Amino acid sequence: MIVTGVVDPRILHRFPVSDSINGLTLLNNELYVLYDRDDNQVDVYSTIDFNFLRHLSVDGLKKMYVTDIVSCSQKRCIYISNNNRDESGIHRLGLDGSVCKWPLNNDPQSMAVTRSSNLLVVVSHAETDEDEDMVEHLLLLSGENGERLQMIKLQLDVDFHVAHSLQLTDDLYVICYSSSDEHRKHRVSHVDADGRILRSTDRELGLRFPWHMSADSDKFLFVAEMINGRILLFDPSLEFVFNVTEGIAVDPMCLHFDEFTRRLYVGESKEGGVVIVQL
C-alpha cells in the first residue's frame, strides 16, 4: 500500500523546458515529453541522470492538436493522440521501429493504458451529425491494432468536461471532470461499464479543475489539480488521504507515477517544467 511508503515527499529533480507540456510518459528508463510546439518531435530524457538523449520525430504531429502521450511496457510502444478534426487519431510507435496511425471519428482528449495493455481514450463525440454539442465518451481500443473494443457513454450532464480517465478493473473506471456552470462543480468519480456514477470525491475538498491522474497497483490515485496547484492522493474508495505537494511548489498539468522507483513525474502547465517528486 502506497500510503505506508510515503514519508516525506521531496523534489528529486526539476528541469525547465522551453514549451508548454501536453503529456509525459516513461518507457525503458526513458522519459518522453510531448510539447505544444510547431515541430513534430518528442523529447526523450534519461531517467537515470535526467540528461537529454534525443528527439523522436513523428509525422503528422501539429501544434495545438497533440493532446497526450502514454506508453505500454508490455507491448514496448508509445501512443500519441492527435485531435486535428481532419485527421484525428492515435499514433503508435514501437521500440522496434514500427509506426502506424489509427484514424478516429472522434476527437481524442486524453489516454491511459489499461491493465490488459489496451488503450482507454477520452473522446469528444457528437450524438448526431446535426448535433453541435460534443459529449465525452470513454473509448476502449485494442493496444495491438486499434480495434474498437467498447464505447462507454458517460451519464453526465452535457456541460461537464471530462479531462482524464483510468481503468481500475474490467468494469470500474475513474474519471476527473468539471462543469462550466455557475456552480463550477469539479469531481473525481468512479463509474461503471455503463457510464453510471458510483461514488465521488468529497465536495468539501474544493477541487478546481482536476485534470490528470495516475494510480499505483493498489488503486491509490494521484490527481493533478490545475487551478489550486496541488497533487492530491485518494485511497481506492476515493477518500482523501493527503496533499502530496504540501510545501512543494508545482503547477501540475500531467502525471506519471513510476511504482518501481516511487517517483512521481509532473509536467507543469504554465512554466513548462518537469518536476520529479520522490515519494
Burial of 142: CB neighbours in 10 Å, binned 0-12, 13-18, 19+: middle
**Taking a C-beta distance cutoff of 8 angstroms, is the pair 268, 38 a contact?**
no
Measured between alpha carbons, how far is 49 from 10 in angstroms, rounded to an integer?
17
Kind of pairing between the strands at 240-243 and 230-234 = antiparallel
Q: Helix (H, G, I), strand (E, B), or coil: what is residue 244?
A: coil
CA angle 52, 53, 58 (to 5 degrees): 105
Neighbours of 103 (CB within 10 A): 10
Residue 40 has pLDDT above 90, yes or no: no
The H or E element spanning position 72 is strand 66-72
Q: Which domains does the chain have, with CATH numbers?
A: 2-278 (2.130.10.10)
The DSSP bridge partners found for residue 26 are 31
Q: What is the CA radius of gyration of the chain?
A: 18
Flag whether the pTM goes above 0.75.
yes
**What is the per-residue pLDDT across 226-255, written as a single tens digit (0 to 9) for each?**
889 999 999 999 999 999 999 998 999 999
Measured between alpha carbons, how far is 69 from 49 in angstroms, rounded to an integer?
22
Residue 128 has pLDDT above 50, yes or no: no
**What is the per-residue pLDDT across 164-217, written as a single tens digit (0 to 9) for each?**
999 999 999 999 999 876 567 899 999 999 999 999 998 888 899 999 999 999
Any idea which of 46-50, 162-166, 202-206, 268-272 has the lowest mean pLDDT? Answer: 268-272
